[in-house]
A and B are shown apart, each in its own frame.
Chain A
Amino acid sequence: MSTPEIPAPVGSLPDRATVVVAVLARAGGFLDETLQAVHAQTYTPLDVFVVGGDQAQASGMGRLPWVSDVAELVERLDPLATHVWLLHDDARPHPDALESMVADSVRVDGSVVGSKILRQGELLESVGSSTDVFGQPSSGLEEDEIDQEQYDVVRDVSYISNVSMLVRRDLLRGVGGLDGRLPQDSQSIDFSQRARVAGGRVVVAPASEVEHHAACVRDVPPWREQAGRIRATVVAYRPLTLVWVIPMLWFLGLIDGLVRLVLTPRSRLFDWVRAWLWILAVLPSTLQARRAAQKHRQVGDEELFRFQVSGSVAMRRLADDFSLRLDRRAGEEVPAELEALFGTRRSVWQRPSFLVSIGSALALGVAARGILLGHLPVGGFALPLRETASATLSSYAGGWSFGGLGSPEALHPSVGALSVLQALVLGNEQLAVALATILALFAGVVGMTRLMGRFGLGPWGRAFGGLVLLAGPVAAQLTGVGYWPAIMALGAIPWTVLPAFLPRPTSWRMRMGRTAGWLLAVALLAAFAPLALLVPVVVLLSSWLMGAGSIRPTWRALIVSILAAVVLLPWALDAIPGVLRDGAGVAWSPPLWILVAVGVALVATVIGGDRIESALAAWGGLLLAIGAVVSRIGLGREPSVAGLVMASFGLALLVSVAVDLPRRREERPRLVVLSWVACLAGLVITASIALVMVDGRLGLPPDRLTAALEFTETLSEPHGPDRVLLVGEPADLPGEARLSPSGYAYRAVSAPLPTFDEAWLAPPLLGDDELAAVLAGIEQGRILRPGAALAPFGIRWVVFMSPAILSEGFRTQLDMAPLNLAEDLVAYQNEVPSPRAATLEGRPWRFDPPKYTGAAQPEGRVVVAENADPRWGEDWSESGWRNQVAAPDGSAEFAHDPGRRALAILAAVVVVASALIALWGGGGAARRSDPGVPDAQPDTEPIPEPVGGGR
């Protein structure tokens, strides 16, 4: 191959624009073509270098000078050179490309000038691009948009592609060239941002056109670009910006990854993990690059913000993809011609199903605004998570339960589930709570939408079903007593039923994925409402009885439920003996107008609907009735919660069908009145969520505890807050409470606020009996110094949440000082030192869950005010109901029960394996439904016909 000689620079442009071409050898295979295009330029460059790639190949091409990277190039540049044209070796610039760039560069004083990048001759790849603040690129172009010179204007942009980039030599030298660790896109973003921060102007010159084969991006894994963007962000911004950008970047990536587990590409979560791991690995070099960039900083971050798009590009794409997925899953086909004309993403916003779904989500968002924007209203079982997820996980996996005066009994499975989520969000407990709530609401709405879509219901019916499921009159009963975990159970339940109504997968891989996903859904449901493990079986059995499904899925659900029961370990071992009677039950007691509306909707829909609608309504009605029976039969908390979860699902089914009934009124003109009656009744039931929306807490009780216990933080001793004894009505106290023979409820909680893992109380142990005796003594006036009596329990404060008999006894006691906090709050502070753990000499230790810490006691011993258990230390002895242990290393911690820990690990393994298999199987399904794959099959199948015939 021969290469023409490089002529001397000619042209009419100013002499100072002396350009050296640097062909970036990346893709290989197109270098010859690229060099020919360079030599054909109307603006003759001073020199041409090959940068990177194979030196021998470069040498073979007319002995072109070769350098290993841009940094070396900068060092070897002819002093006469004023600009460097960076050009990919898979690019073919039009003959006037360089001339146009140089001209525009001089005209607008651009420091970094980019070309219009085309592919396949007429399709636009890039005409300069924007990013959001997180570095996510947004070209603003439609897919396969044809170049009609619609963007041909020289303008400032966030970044330009280094496929063809003209850079001032001094700037290139100053900012240090391209970052060799980054792939193409993020490299371009990084360089453009550094150039801008150094005071350079980044512009696109669309008159300069470059054909790009895009070979350079074919083998770049997505996580590399993601990691590159993070690095570019760290390098470019000032610390003040990084303080919020980096956490947001991390969080949005996580959200994107999590949501895309149900969308494509499903590997996004793994990309996210790999990207951040890579960032950690290259942190030193990143910080070095940052120091270099910041050394040349001329302008503030505002200059970067000026050319960025607002919001998050990734989130917008996610919403687009999700709504598209929603439509497809719900059976709403996108008109092909519309899709072809505008592209799917644009049209999806205009469809009723999307708008109705958004409306439902917004309504639930309004109903939960207090939780999402503020914090969980503390009360009932709605309690904040412990600060450290690892501590809770440790307690869950065979450790100590700190509820009340402590117990070795296993924690509720919902504690484990939420701790895992908290660990995933790096221990941010508020974020975990908000995320759990959002995901539950989201999953509930989407799940009901998909399920009802399978039965051919319209958008309004589907959306209203979701609303009623999560915030309807049955759900409100659960949240009204503060049972926050029920929201998560309600979010999961549609997904435990949906697999039974999906078409049978065509491959083993998909079948396994489907089953694993089903198991995961049932496991999630059971984690938050353990006895609801059986609800899918009952639900599907009822569907068969009412003619809305066949019997076979019931057996499959039974098998899945049995497998999913593993996740209830180790809780089930302790809880099963009393699971039917323990805890206060929650009975569904709706107002009369709801009952009437439900009755009307049921009768009108069963009579006025077609065969399927009638069967669906009957199915929902039966589930509602069975759930109501279970909740009212007088059993304990878990059965009643399971019953209400099922009842809420049944009511949601009924409302979905009832609201949808008039949609097909043309098909049955004689029953049109009945259809409207059913619809009206459904709307009345749905309207009840307005009551939940008003308070913004999803119906959870108002937060009295936070304000009531706020004082404990300021009045804490240096060793940290001790326990608080709360006294009042059972409904006033967080989680479970113990009842005194006189009828008042009480419980000891950790200050400043009890945490979610403390909500459940184990059966009374020795210390609990002792505390009950002390309280009886105070109540009867036999104990005159309650402070001294309560100090061994680590109780520093007593707070009366409502007028109670004990408060009178407290007025004439001698060693608890009243605190003037609020008119409706009676609180006392113990004047006797009351640490939860202290040395025998009385030096307090700190409660640092899951252990107690303090000054090392090489010879001494420590008394830990938890119910006595030998696992509290090797040299353990019982001190009354408490523990006395040696603490030579300054800590006392409960030794885990290895059996229970193994069971907890087994549960985790089952969940993770299910998730992986579901992803793997789902990946197979996604691949098969990809239109690009010849063997693709439709993602949805016709609605199943009920047993015994069609409509």
Chain B
Amino acid sequence: MRRSLSLIAILAVAAAAWALPGAGAEQTIEAAPLIDRQAQAVCPYVVATDTVDTIISVLAPGTRKAEISWPVVGDVAATTKTRLVAGGGLANPADVPLSGVVSAIVEVPGEAAAVSVVPRGEGSVAADTCPVSLPDVWYLPGGSTEPGQTLELHLANPFPSDAVVSVRASSNLGVEADAALETFAVPARSTRTVDLSSTFEFRDSLSVVVQPVEGHVIPAMTQFGEGDFAVWSGTAGSRTIELPVTRTEEGQHAWLVLVTDSPTPVGYTVDIATGGGGTPSVLEGEIGASSQVRIPFRRIFSQSEMFGIRVTATAEIGAAVVLSDPEGGQSVATGTSVLGSTWLLPGIPQTRATRQVWFMNTGPDEIEVMFRALGGGDATGSFRVAPGSRRVIELRRLTGRGLLVEATEPVSVGWSVVGEDALAATNGLPIDG
């Protein structure tokens, strides 16, 4: 009897033990308090030579200083601090001093900041908004190696880790192959330049996809013509891309270039937004697997009116608008896949040239847009943009170091500058997208 009772008692306790979850106590998780946010942009192409100088323009409404580091040949050659006045400031690699092609890391305390580079030479200007994110695949459409053009791919690795990348090119001839580009290393804190003109000679149109295999790089392309030149950084791929900056004036040659890294053909649809409203599906087509297409503007919209473009694709693509004018001016403006209600447009030069800001509203509602200058300028204004339309504002007043744009609904915004023989265009940076 006693044995039975003992067994029953023990088995009861044992059953209780196994009925328990048995996980043991979890460690208490201490909630981490938030700290101030910090913004970072990497400008992959900053050039300082005898003939070309670069201005780095920083817009950060909420702060008063920015720190710029210059990684060169495996080390951080210098770190400079830039004072921001009224939300904007400038820096120049020649101040460091540095020469040649380098990259720059711009760190700004606070959540909202945008950085652009504006390389300028005698009769030439370019503009590029520096990337703030690191996509897995970079798209760089819109290059050309036709006679007289020098196309270079710059791969900046400002990080302490070495990177290994794979570069895939496609042109108007189809998929381009070069074993040397399939895998090559970019040492930590350095920039490697690939001369695509000599590798792929005489291509009317050449686009590149860069995929980091190890580490990270930020790529940029430069194209030097007989007079002007263009600079554009890589962008992330997307199924929907807006290109607010298109043809700036009549007589320009303009193309829409689309590139994909998809192993299968990708269908695309082009919608346009004009001043009078939008026209959907003006063009539909297909990009071959891992290929690119270059579409002249005349196939998109035959009238001379300026318009904005939205491209929708069945897989991720990259898109750019390529502009060139008879005087030699040229520009490549990549599209944006992120819309926002608040935009920063750094780098708009204070020049007598024509300076335009492009707004595109692809949404269903009319929106109100306000802008004001940062960094000491006095430009301000507000206006409305109808649904499905684009609007271009020409800036005549001082813009300081750039503009802050606020809209009631998400828009896409870019800017351009057109001189006598120079042309530059780029997008702004949405800071609430």
In the assembly, what is the distance between CA of A624 and CA of B28, in Å? 28
User: Would B215 and A636 count as touching, CB distance under 8 A?
Assistant: no
B97 close to chain A: CB less than 8 A: no
User: Would A782 and B30 count as touching, CB distance under 8 A?
Assistant: no
Encoded as 1 (CB less than 8 Å from any A CB) or 0, chain B from 366 to 387 comes to: 0000000000000000000000
Given contacts A741-B29, A741-B31, contact A606 B161 (CB under 8 A): no
User: Would A629 and B16 count as touching, CB distance under 8 A?
Assistant: yes
- Whole-angstrom distance between the Cβ of A789 and the nearest chain B Cβ: 9
User: Would B216 and A583 count as touching, CB distance under 8 A?
Assistant: no
Given contacts A625-B14, A634-B21, A782-B35, contact A772 B30 (CB under 8 A): yes
Q: Which of A84-92, A340-348, A408-416, A614-622 contacts B (4 or more CB under 8 A)?
A: A614-622
By size class, the interface of chain A is: 35 or more
Residues of B within 8 A of A585 (CB): 23-25
A residues with a Cβ closer than 8 A to B are: 545-547, 581, 583-589, 602-603, 606-607, 614-615, 618, 621-622, 624-626, 628-629, 631-637, 640, 730, 736-741, 745, 764, 768-769, 772-777, 782-785, 811-818, 828, 831
Given contacts A584-B26, A629-B20, contact A622 B160 (CB under 8 A): no
Pick from B13, B17, B27: contact of A739, CB below 8 A. B27
Residues of A within 8 A of B28 (CB): 739
User: Would A581 and B7 count as touching, CB distance under 8 A?
Assistant: no
B2 close to chain A: CB less than 8 A: yes
Given contacts A606-B3, A607-B3, contact A769 B33 (CB under 8 A): yes
Given contacts A625-B10, A812-B134, A817-B160, contact A634 B24 (CB under 8 A): yes
In the assembly, what is the distance between CA of A130 and CA of B420, in Å? 110
Q: Can you pick out 24 interface pairs between chain A and chain B where the beta carbons lie within 8 Å of each other? A: A545-B9, A585-B25, A587-B22, A606-B7, A614-B3, A618-B3, A618-B7, A621-B14, A625-B11, A625-B17, A629-B16, A634-B24, A634-B25, A635-B24, A736-B27, A738-B27, A773-B32, A773-B33, A776-B32, A777-B38, A784-B40, A784-B107, A813-B159, A814-B76
B161 (CB) vs chain A CBs: closest residue: A818
Given contacts A740-B32, A815-B160, contact A782 B9 (CB under 8 A): no
In the assembly, what is the distance between CA of A607 and CA of B9, in Å? 14
B105 close to chain A: CB less than 8 A: yes
By size class, the interface of chain B is: 35 or more
User: Would B27 and A583 count as touching, CB distance under 8 A?
Assistant: yes
A585 (CB) vs chain B CBs: closest residue: B24
- Whole-angstrom distance between the Cβ of A821 and the nearest chain B Cβ: 13
User: Would B6 and A546 count as touching, CB distance under 8 A?
Assistant: yes
- Given A583-B25, A769-B32, 11 new contacts (CB under 8 A): A584-B26, A585-B24, A629-B13, A629-B20, A632-B17, A768-B30, A772-B32, A776-B35, A812-B134, A812-B216, A817-B188
- Whole-angstrom distance between the Cβ of A620 and the nearest chain B Cβ: 9
B7 (CB) vs chain A CBs: closest residue: A606
Interface centre among B22, B34, B36 (most CB of A within 10 A): B22
Given contacts A614-B3, A730-B27, contact A629 B32 (CB under 8 A): no
Pick from B10, B33, B105: contact of A622, CB below 8 A. B10
- Whole-angstrom distance between the Cβ of A862 and the nearest chain B Cβ: 26
- Whole-angstrom distance between the Cβ of B263 and the nearest chain A Cβ: 26
Interface of A is mostly: mixed
User: Would A634 and B23 count as touching, CB distance under 8 A?
Assistant: yes
User: Would A584 and B24 count as touching, CB distance under 8 A?
Assistant: yes
B37 close to chain A: CB less than 8 A: yes
Residues of B within 8 A of A628 (CB): 14, 17-18
B69 close to chain A: CB less than 8 A: yes
A620 (CB) vs chain B CBs: closest residue: B10
Residues of A within 8 A of B38 (CB): 777, 782-784
In the assembly, what is the distance between CA of A817 and CA of B33, in Å? 27
Pick from B10, B21, B76: contact of A618, CB below 8 A. B10
Residues of A within 8 A of B219 (CB): none
Q: Which 3 A-B pairs have the closest CB atoms?
A: A585-B24, A776-B32, A625-B13
User: Would B25 and A637 count as touching, CB distance under 8 A?
Assistant: yes
Given contacts A606-B3, A813-B159, contact A621 B10 (CB under 8 A): yes
In the assembly, what is the distance between CA of A636 and CA of B161, in Å? 41
User: Would B6 and A606 count as touching, CB distance under 8 A?
Assistant: yes
In the assembly, what is the distance between CA of A589 and CA of B32, in Å? 33
In the assembly, what is the distance between CA of A628 and CA of B21, in Å? 12
Encoded as 1 (CB less than 8 Å from any A CB) or 0, chain B from 199 to 228 comes to: 000000000000000011000000000000
Residues of B within 8 A of A816 (CB): 160
B2 (CB) vs chain A CBs: closest residue: A547
In the assembly, what is the distance between CA of A624 and CA of B6, in Å? 13
User: Would A586 and B161 count as touching, CB distance under 8 A?
Assistant: no
In the assembly, what is the distance between CA of A420 and CA of B107, in Å? 53
In the assembly, what is the distance between CA of A586 and CA of B76, in Å? 48
- Whole-angstrom distance between the Cβ of A649 and the nearest chain B Cβ: 15
B158 close to chain A: CB less than 8 A: yes
User: Would B25 and A636 count as touching, CB distance under 8 A?
Assistant: yes
User: Would A622 and B32 count as touching, CB distance under 8 A?
Assistant: no
Given contacts A741-B32, A769-B30, A775-B32, contact A818 B160 (CB under 8 A): yes
In the assembly, what is the distance between CA of A431 and CA of B285, in Å? 78
Residues of A within 8 A of B40 (CB): 784
Residues of B within 8 A of A739 (CB): 27-30
Residues of A within 8 A of B17 (CB): 588, 625, 628-629, 632
- Whole-angstrom distance between the Cβ of A764 and the nearest chain B Cβ: 5
- Whole-angstrom distance between the Cβ of B81 and the nearest chain A Cβ: 14
- Whole-angstrom distance between the Cβ of A549 and the nearest chain B Cβ: 14
Interface centre among B10, B14, B33, B34 (most CB of A within 10 A): B10
In the assembly, what is the distance between CA of A635 and CA of B69, in Å? 51
**Chain B residues numbered 29-69 whose CB sits less than 8 Å from any CB in chain A:** 29-38, 40, 69
- Whole-angstrom distance between the Cβ of B23 and the nearest chain A Cβ: 6
- Whole-angstrom distance between the Cβ of B162 and the nearest chain A Cβ: 8
Residues of B within 8 A of A545 (CB): 9
Given contacts A625-B14, A812-B159, A815-B160, contact A640 B69 (CB under 8 A): no
Pick from A586, A626, A741, A814: contact of B159, CB below 8 A. A814
Residues of A within 8 A of B161 (CB): 811, 817-818
Residues of B within 8 A of A736 (CB): 27
Residues of B within 8 A of A637 (CB): 25
In the assembly, what is the distance between CA of A62 and CA of B37, in Å? 108
Residues of B within 8 A of A629 (CB): 13, 16-17, 20
In the assembly, what is the distance between CA of A764 and CA of B28, in Å? 11
In the assembly, what is the distance between CA of A511 and CA of B133, in Å? 77
- Whole-angstrom distance between the Cβ of B246 and the nearest chain A Cβ: 33
User: Would B27 and A581 count as touching, CB distance under 8 A?
Assistant: no
Residues of B within 8 A of A774 (CB): 35
User: Would B23 and A587 count as touching, CB distance under 8 A?
Assistant: yes
A618 (CB) vs chain B CBs: closest residue: B6
- Whole-angstrom distance between the Cβ of B207 and the nearest chain A Cβ: 25
In the assembly, what is the distance between CA of A739 and CA of B32, in Å? 10
Residues of B within 8 A of A621 (CB): 6-7, 10, 14
User: Would A811 and B216 count as touching, CB distance under 8 A?
Assistant: yes
